[in-house]
Amino acid sequence: MNTKRLDPRTLAYIQTLVQAASMKDDWKTALDKVLVALRAEFVFDNVAIYMVDPTTLSLEITHARAVGRGKAAEADAAWGENLANQVLARESMVTQDPLDDSNDRISQAYLLGLPLFNGSTVFGVMVFVRFGGPVYEDVQTTLAAIAGSWVAALLYRKAHEETHQQLAVLQQKVQLQDDFVATISHELRTPLGFIKGYSTTLLRADTTWDEETKQEFLTIIDEEADRLSQLIDNILESAKLQSRSVQLNVQPLRLDALIRDVVIRVCARHKNLEVELRLDPVPPIQGDNVRITQVFDNLFSNAAKYANGSKIMVATKEDNGSLLVTFSDRGPGIPKAYLPYIFERFYRVPGDRSSKGSGLGLYICNQIIMAHHGKIWVESELKKGTTFYIQLPIKSAI
């Protein structure tokens, strides 16, 4: 090889240029370093990079940098747009000398546009500008073309990284969706399994069951059918709340009256339930009567299920422009480790599998309270009981 034609200085420069596009940096830092390195031999005032929008196929400015004269022009990259479109149409380098011959250097723009290739496709254009000249020489345009290849590689890397990030987000969404579907199908199959199992047991032609056993099995079938039906309601409800497609019917609401109504209904269903109310006179809130009722129905039904018939205390008070409801039982309490998860969809405290919860009740409560711009949280102590707090804004524009 004839090495005489490559002098050490040129080699050192090429090395600087190549190293500037180091893969260790993020694409933006690397891009800046390439441009700075380029400027050592190829003087320019401004540079702008345009990318082809894949949907409209038009050019969008993505990067502009002013380094020399006319720094104020950084934000205004319109000077290059016309030329960039020509480069895109021709798919080759285009230069353009000043259009007017006024003495204003800034308006005498010498432009050089380079296509950025990915394979054989032009995905962007890089435009350099020299205000007031000089014209671009052949050596310099070659240098600019080398830099153009580097910049294309960097931008391609940027697009690659972005796609990767989007993919990771999507993968996580798919995973959540998979988990959700798996949980739903398991939850639905459990009651269905009992209904199928016990009804085919009663239908067996080769054996007979005494009256008491028949009653026992029929009761199980009946209860499991109810559980299945409630589960389906809850799944639909939570899906609607999740997709924010539930329309709240907002009106002034007296929470003390609403809670009293719920208590009357709940006590009719659970005869032994003891409820103590400490309802301060509080101003009405803006809320959806049906939805808020649903929240309290859920809390009472949970307390009846898990708090072993302990006394329930419900209190309301005004607190700093919002209304605070405290809902406490004196049941066995929830272990601390499980508290952060109890508002999650399908979460059930381990060890409670035999009881009839769907793991959706508190999730739905949380969604409803959030839709009212409120907050629900829980505190619990083992063997002492559990307290739910609900905070709702008194004046709110929902």
- Interface positions with other proteins (CB under 8 A): 185-186, 189-190, 192-198, 200-201, 203-204, 206-207, 213, 217, 220, 224, 350-351, 353-354
Pick the closer one to other proteins by CB: 217 or 389: 217
* Cα 384 from Cα 334, distance rounded (Å): 10
Minimum gap (Å) between residue 195 Cβ and other proteins: 8
DSSP 114: E
Q: Are strands 385-393 and 46-52 parallel, antiparallel or unpaired?
A: unpaired
Distances (CA, A) of 388 to 263, 268, 312, 344, 348: 16, 23, 11, 15, 16
Minimum gap (Å) between residue 207 Cβ and other proteins: 4
Minimum gap (Å) between residue 197 Cβ and other proteins: 5
Dig out the tokens for 352 from the structure. Answer: 């409670």
287's enclosing H/E stretch is strand 285-288
Minimum gap (Å) between residue 192 Cβ and other proteins: 5
Q: Report the phi/psi class of residue 321: left, alpha or beta, with left for phi > 0 and alpha for psi in -120 to 50.
A: left
How many Cα atoms are found within 13 Å in the side-chain-facing hemisphere of 18? 6
* Cα 61 from Cα 51, distance rounded (Å): 6
Pick the closer one to other proteins by CB: 154 or 228: 228
Pick the closer one to other proteins by CB: 213 or 308: 213
Minimum gap (Å) between residue 92 Cβ and other proteins: 56
CB atoms within 10 A of CB 249: 10
Minimum gap (Å) between residue 221 Cβ and other proteins: 10
Pick the closer one to other proteins by CB: 194 or 343: 194
- Burial (CB count within 10 angstroms: exposed 0-12, middle 13-18, buried 19+), residue 145: middle
Using alpha carbons only, how large is the chain's radius of gyration in Å?
A: 35
Minimum gap (Å) between residue 211 Cβ and other proteins: 14
Pick the closer one to other proteins by CB: 192 or 267: 192
Pick the closer one to other proteins by CB: 117 or 217: 217
Minimum gap (Å) between residue 200 Cβ and other proteins: 4
Pick the closer one to other proteins by CB: 164 or 353: 353
Pick the closer one to other proteins by CB: 75 or 205: 205
3-state secondary structure at position 204: coil
DSSP 99: S
Pick the closer one to other proteins by CB: 159 or 220: 220
CB 30 within 8 A of CB 147: no
Minimum gap (Å) between residue 232 Cβ and other proteins: 16
Question: What DSSP assignment string belongs to 44-80?
Answer: -SEEEEEEE-TTT--EEEEEEEE-SS-GGGGS-GGGG
